[in-house]
Amino acid sequence: MKEYKIFKPPSNLLGKKKENYSKKESKQLFDFIMSIKDERINFFLEFINIKLEEDMSKDLNEFSEVVFHFLNLSQFSEKQNDRVMLTNPGFSFCFDLGLFIGDLIITQMSDVTWEIGKGPKTYQGKNMPVLRNEKEEYDILGIAIHSSQYSLNKNKKKDWHDQYSTMIKTFTDPDWYKKEYDF
Residue 179 has pLDDT above 70, yes or no: no
Please, what is the Cα angle at 105 between 101 and 110, to 5 degrees?
A: 150
Residue 169 pLDDT grade (very low, low, confident, very high; cuts 50, 70, 90): confident
Task: List helix spans (H) across 3-155.
Answer: 23-48, 60-71, 88-108, 140-154
Domain boundaries, the chain: 19-177
For residues 145 and 93, the answer to whether their CB atoms sit within 8 Å is no
How far apart CA 153 and CA 95 sit, in angstroms, is 18
How far apart CA 153 and CA 131 sit, in angstroms, is 26
**Per-residue pLDDT tens digits for 125-156:** 888 999 998 888 889 999 999 889 888 888 88
Average pLDDT value for residue range 34-52: 91
Q: For the whole model, what pTM was predicted? A: 0.89
For residues 148 and 85, the answer to whether their CB atoms sit within 8 Å is no
